[in-house]
Chains A and B, each alone.
Chain A
Amino acid sequence: MTSTPLVMLHPGEIGSVKHIHAGGCATKRLYEMGFNTGAKIKVIKNDAGPLIVSLSGNKIALGRGLAYKVMINRDI
């Protein structure tokens, strides 16, 4: 299965984290915010400005630049 950057997902779509290829610090922060491998993510808002996603029921806003670097497996 091919993965897509998180930023490509539409609101309402669900996927799981496959890989993050941001810099060391940013990747670590993402893990710490719950974006570990396999974590289920639902996109809530993705229009202008940062994305809002839901991660085990919590809302997290992340910038579009960062959202390009989170690779997602769609529809698991």
Chain B
Amino acid sequence: MAWSHCRKKEGKFEFKGNKYNVVDLPGTYSLGAFSEDEIVARDFILNGNPDIVINVVDATNIERNLYLTTQLLEMGAKVVVALNMIDEAEKRKIKFDLNRFSKELGAPVIPTIAAKRKGINELIKQSVELINQDVKPKTQISYGEKIDQEIKKLKAFLSDKNLEYPSQWIAIKLLERDQYIYELVTNKIDLSSSDEFINTLHQLKNRTEDYELEIVNKRYEFASKIVENSVTMPEVIVETKTDKIDKVITNKWLGLPIFFLIMLLVFQLTFTVGEDLLGGLMASGIEALGKVIENYLITINSPELLVSFVTEGIIGGVGAVVEFIPLILVLYLLMGILEDSGYMARAAYVMDSIMRALGLQGKTFISMIVGFGCNVPGVMATRTLENKKDRMIATLINPFTSCGARIPIYLVFIAAFFPKRGGLVLFSLYLLGTLVALLMGKIFSKTLFKGESSYFIMELPPYRWPTLRNVLRNMWDNVSGFLKRAGTIIFAVVTILWILAILPLGVEPYSRNSILGQIGLLIAPIFKPAGFGTWQAAIGLFAGIAAKEGVVATLGMVYAGVEEGTALVTAIQNAFTPLTAVSFMVMTLLYTPCAAVIGTIRKETNSYKWAIFTALYTFAIGWLGAVLVFQIGQLLGFS
């Protein structure tokens, strides 16, 4: 589980007058080219030429963690092992013979307690020392007679090929049928010539016998042996605090109710603290700032166009995003606590049964929960899904989980038509989004991606108190992304919309005669069956494809000449009916996600096809949903 740690992060530190760059790679269990995280980590170790690799291993989980260590050592990297959570291991009566451990492994081992910042100085000192030493890692795993023979044979061929990685490692990777390495080797040599090496490579490629699994198995045996020799495990596994908590949290009957209670609490807190309390403060702050800037611009006799651009365009548009940062802040704070405490993995566990009935799996739901904050990290969170099919489905359905940027839209319509039933309306929208996501997931698993089997496996880490550091860092990573968005994409969107709204010159800004108005008129007929076929509504939705925050700001400008406030609410009351308000909200809930999400889907699936597909099919679903609401509503006599 590493939804918040997918990207690599960098930092710097100074030690004895020298400066060092530190790159934090995504947490992985291995370095095959298996999941996105692993590829990122491996690429960096191979191509980033790190002086030293600090491998943080979990002392309570040593055997499995050593698998990665053995892979690093085989790659020829200089490794320092940080034996982390050593206090937790001691608590569980796991004892290490550090000298022997380090010797058998062939790398320095430093015990640390990262949460309490213990052992860090020693770790840095040892790492820096090792940088300057010229040692070749001497770890060599025996893979059994047959495979060792093959390795030897390949090594002989590789020795004169002048590849930048150790030939032992390349040989092993070739036997593991690693695509990346295969291509690397075949790019270096002339495949059309017919020497023995090429024949061997061809044989490897088409071989049916599976060395791959045997190699993984042997690596584990190697790790097990080191552990057996240098670590004393307790005879009987005592029931830990974690086990006791899990008896309740993962209970057959209690698991789901507890999960829903926690989710309810998270959203309640997010909306009361993030939106009502802090969001309100932020909004009035920005409004005041806007006024100050406007007055200043007027006093220095700025051209009217500039004043309009700054107040309407920039402060209106970018301000709409900034106002909603407290909400994101609180949501990610709470998510971070759930993640860091170990609950998130249980949530996936608990949801797995329901999700399985729908042809999906537990981890898919986690990516959806993340999507409630923002669909960009939501789509990225699908990286924790090992299976291609599961991952594709989770990616395609994520936009239906109602992201935070859509909330301001709902709030305006709620204020206009359902002020007394706001909570219910919001809840229904979230529920509808979730149900549509699950339904589409089911459909996709039966149609587009049928056949591929999916499996569920994940670690349930021990519960622990979340550390402020981790939680705050996670929060900042996500929020800073938003700020960047506000500063770049949304700024650009706002500018373009503003330009479209004042052109052709001389036209009244934001009127139907402006280019923006004309675009609206062109699109509007599509939405006639949904009840809101006006050019104003069409422009709002148009802006929403660039950024969802643009919907309210644009509606405000075209209806009332203001971004928000009571004037907008009144204008909405005049332009919509309760029924069309509902169908419009359903449309904004389900239709095409913002450009940033489409871009992320393109990047994550590495395909324009899927990005365009998502944009189109979500639009169709949104339109269908809005039309159904309006038509059925009319039949039932609503207006």
Contact = CB atoms under 8 A, between A and B. Distances in A.
Interface of A: 22-34, 36-39, 42, 44-45, 47-50, 52, 54-63, 65-66
B569 to A, nearest CB: 46
A63 B455 CA distance: 6
A62 B352 CA distance: 10
B459 A66 contact: no
B250 A52 contact: yes
Contacts of B386: 25, 29
Contacts of A44: 243, 246
Contact of B63 (A22, A45, A56): A56
Contact of A52 (B34, B60, B213, B246): B246
A24 B210 contact: yes
A58 B458 contact: no
A28 B212 contact: yes
B61 A61 contact: no
B213 A28 contact: yes
Nearest to A22: B455
Contacts of A29: 34, 386, 455, 457
A30 B255 CA distance: 25
Nearest 7 CB-CB pairings of A with B: A63-B456, A36-B220, A59-B460, A49-B353, A31-B216, A34-B64, A62-B457
A61 B351 CA distance: 12
A33 B217 contact: no
Nearest to A63: B456
A26 B455 CA distance: 7
Contacts of A59: 242, 246, 459-462
Contacts of B63: 34, 56
B67 interface: yes
Contact of A57 (B217, B221, B233, B348): B233
A24 B387 CA distance: 12
B350 interface: yes
A60 to B, nearest CB: 5
A37 B217 contact: yes
A58 B350 contact: no
Contact of A33 (B29, B227, B252, B349): B29
22 contacts: A28-B34, A29-B34, A31-B213, A31-B216, A32-B32, A32-B64, A34-B63, A36-B224, A38-B221, A42-B237, A52-B246, A52-B250, A56-B62, A56-B233, A57-B233, A58-B60, A59-B242, A61-B457, A62-B455, A63-B352, A65-B453, A65-B456
Contact of A24 (B212, B350, B457, B459): B212
Given A33-B459, A62-B458, 11 more contacts: A28-B212, A29-B386, A34-B63, A44-B243, A55-B64, A56-B61, A56-B63, A61-B348, A61-B349, A61-B458, A62-B455
A34 B30 CA distance: 11
B250 A33 contact: no
**Main SS of chain A's interface residues?**
mixed
B67 A32 contact: yes
A25 B29 CA distance: 14
Contact of A50 (B227, B453, B456, B462): B456
Given A34-B63, A50-B352, A56-B64, A65 B455 contact: yes
B94 interface: yes
Contacts of B387: 25
Contacts of B356: 63
Contacts of A34: 63-64, 220
B92 interface: yes
A38 B462 CA distance: 24
A29 B29 CA distance: 9
Contact of B94 (A39, A57, A60, A63): A57
B220 A62 contact: no
B361 interface: yes
A34 B65 CA distance: 9
B250 A66 contact: no
A37 B215 CA distance: 12
Contacts of A30: 457
Interface in B329-381: 345, 348-350, 352-353, 356, 361-362
Contacts of B94: 57
Contacts of B242: 59
A49 to B, nearest CB: 4
Nearest to A48: B252
Interface in B62-95: 62-64, 67, 92, 94
Nearest to A37: B217
A24 B34 CA distance: 12
Contacts of A60: 457-460
Contacts of A24: 210, 212-213
Given A54-B237, A56-B233, A58-B64, A36 B457 contact: no
